[in-house]
Chains A and B, each alone.
Chain A
Amino acid sequence: MSIAQAFLEALESISGNKLRSGLTVLGIVIGVAAVIAMLAVGNGAEASITGSISSIGTNLLFVFRGSPESQQEAPDRSSAQNDRPLTLADASALADPFAAPSVAIVAPAIQGNGMITFAGENASTTITGVTPEYFAVRNLELSEGEFINQEHLLGRMSVVVLGPEAADAIMGRHDGIVGESIRIEGQPFRIIGVLEAKGGGAFGSEDNSAYLPFTTAQARLLKRNARDEVDVIFVQATSGETVPQASEEIANILRQRHRTPIGSDDFTVFTQQDFLQTFGAITGVLTIFLGGIAGISLLVGGIGIMNIMLVSVTERTREIGLRKALGARRRDILIQFLTESSLLSLIGGIIGIILGWLISYAVGQIAAANGTDFIPLVTTDAVALATIFSAAVGLFFGIYPANRAASLEPVEALRYE
């Protein structure tokens, strides 16, 4: 008997008992749907996090105070008391095109939290003291006005560039507000620019931020021990390929300036790649976890199929006996039942894929309704994998029942009541 015939007969047999077939494949349906949905949501989350890591800048490196070890243990300044702080002088040393040819732009910054006020409305926001380079390094764009420039910096001027969320919070809008005056920690500042909305990022929202000239912030709001101390230096490498070289160059310059021996750095250079790798490790664990769930649900589904196939073999003992009497060989019966169990499982898998896709679509809609920019992604890989796996599960768990059917003695089977 040919496979095509076996396929047709299996289809007939499955559709001849729709309710039972449906209940049988439920395990597979739920398992596959769960896996598809979770993979889709995971992919969507990965895409959105990878996107937000990329959105913080291009070819970006971050230089923090403190050794790499202290960054991991407790990434706050107090644990790094003995380390020399990063300074504006460090930053300008990194901008030296001869000592650091792979470095394109250097932007030192200090950061803190503060209260902004407008017409009696208060909001807490992130206050960042920046130099003009900051905007280029972080890929920030203006919806109106201008960035902080050299003049503002030198004049220690009381000007601020607001993120749209911060503006909304106190003014109820974020357009046509250039020239308005707000208060930051009680002191008056004039708005000179408003940023384009960027969406929630992995490092807090840039949208809820106030950017001041570095000098102004240093002198009036975010006082540090030393006058030229900075919290973080953002560095843009000349290209994606030169990021590792830039990292090397930065480390060499800072070791020289801080007179630290190799191996006991008092600073840390992170690249975007490092963040992506850390994130990759997290998603790796997630994938194993999802794989485990997938495995268990497919196992349970497969056992369900085996169970029903055994019942079916018993019910159809006479039919098997008859087929053998008419000339069916062992192999014919084996193929018939294996085709049936695989097809059953495959149908469950396909229904599961559709259901999983619907679930992830719904999750995406819910996320969108809640203002999260996150699109679940059903990949063809996941669909192919689910298809192959569900058919394989049916095949595997069909082996025992099919073997039992194929081994029936024709005389015994025909006598079966």
Chain B
Amino acid sequence: MDWVIQTHDLRKVYQMGEVEVEALRGVSFNIQRGEVVAIMGPSGSGKSTLMNTLGCLDRPSAGEYVLDGETVANLNDDQLADVRNRKVGFVFQSFNLLSRQTAITNVELPLRYSSNSKYAGNAKGRRARAIEALKAVGLENRMTHRPAELSGGQQQRVAIARAIVNDPAIIMADEPTGNLDSKVGKEIMKLLLDLNKESGTTLIIITHDPTIAEQTQRVIRLRDGLLESGS
């Protein structure tokens, strides 16, 4: 099997003063390359914590995690930053675009931090790739607009272009339609699924919305930091 994500007994403990909060209490599952997976569960069940761990934004307190063939549990901060840059594309609920920058500059941002010789010190190459990504999300006519000049759906498209610009192994979307009305949310979901079909990029979506979960191949359900189903 071609696993893009392999976890074994992932645990995450937050220290809140005296109290220890166990956000993940031993989570083990694998995800195949190209799979579309939804992570569901009630609020506080550990979905965001899991996503932060899978996205290499945070290290697990214990357990093993192999992302696209790389053991990442013990990497230092800068190594994690590099892994995020190369392998992970994030889509956030609140878009998280730089408000002062144009769409194309926002999309280029991951490439600016790339150590790939294709982009490092090659402003033209970065721009060309960013334009491709914006075309892929259907925003070739909005490239020089700033976020304030774009609708919510368009902003999320810019964010998706930014997520795919560096050809990541996985795209992680934390409630990507949470700030959008249902019609626009459907369009965004369709875009994510289309991108998955075209490029085969693994897609992990955290969601509350059962209609979204229905469109995915698999649903991982969390409760109180444990897998309920979907492993």
Contacts and interface: CB of A to CB of B under 8 A. Distances in A.
A332 interface: yes
Interface string B93-111: 0001010110000000110
Closest 7 CB pairs of A and B: A327-B85, A327-B113, A326-B110, A329-B78, A329-B81, A410-B57, A322-B96
A12 B113 contact: no
A327 B84 contact: yes
B65 interface: no
A329 B113 contact: yes
Contacts of B101: 12
Given A323-B109, A328-B113, A329-B113, A414 B57 contact: yes
Interface string B38-65: 0000000000000010010110000000
B129 interface: no
Interface string A313-334: 0000011001111111111100
B95 to A, nearest CB: 10
A402 to B, nearest CB: 16
A327 B57 contact: no
B98 A319 contact: yes
A16 B57 contact: no
A411 B100 contact: no
Given A322-B96, A322-B98, A329 B82 contact: yes
A329 to B, nearest CB: 5
B25 interface: no
Contacts of A16: 100
A327 B78 CA distance: 8
Interface in B104-133: 109-110, 112-114, 120-121
A82 interface: no
B11 interface: no
A380 interface: no
Interface string B56-83: 0110000000000000000001100110
Given A326-B113, A332-B113, A411 B78 contact: no
Contacts of A319: 98
Contacts of B109: 323, 326
Given A326-B84, A327-B84, A1 B113 contact: yes
Given A324-B81, A327-B84, A1 B96 contact: no
B162 interface: yes
B121 A2 contact: yes
Contacts of A409: 58
B14 to A, nearest CB: 11
A331 B58 CA distance: 18
B82 A325 contact: no
B2 to A, nearest CB: 24
Interface in A397-411: 409-411
Contacts of B113: 1, 323, 326-329, 332
Contact of B57 (A1, A325, A330): A325
A335 to B, nearest CB: 11
B110 A327 contact: yes
A353 B41 CA distance: 62
B58 A318 contact: no
Given A1-B113, A411-B57, A326 B90 contact: yes
Contacts of B120: 2
A12 B101 CA distance: 9
Contacts of B98: 319, 322
A370 interface: no
14 contacts: A319-B98, A324-B81, A324-B84, A326-B85, A326-B90, A326-B110, A326-B113, A327-B81, A327-B113, A327-B114, A330-B78, A409-B58, A410-B57, A411-B58
A1 B58 contact: no
Contacts of B58: 409-411
A313 B50 CA distance: 28
A411 B90 CA distance: 13
A326 B57 contact: no
A16 B102 CA distance: 13
B146 to A, nearest CB: 11
B63 to A, nearest CB: 17
Nearest to B166: A327
A5 interface: yes
Contacts of B57: 324-325, 410-411, 414
Nearest to B99: A319
B77 A1 contact: no
A2 B58 CA distance: 26
Given A326-B90, A327-B82, 11 more contacts: A16-B100, A322-B98, A324-B81, A326-B85, A327-B86, A327-B114, A328-B113, A329-B77, A329-B82, A330-B81, A414-B57
Most B-side CB within 10 Å, residue of A1, A327, A330, A409: A327
A410 B85 CA distance: 13
Interface in A323-377: 323-332
Which one of A1, A331, A410 has the highest number of Cβ atoms from chain B below 10 Å of its Cβ? A410
A16 B105 CA distance: 15
A18 to B, nearest CB: 13
A411 B110 contact: no
B81 A414 contact: no
A1 B112 contact: yes
Nearest to A16: B100
A119 B162 CA distance: 95
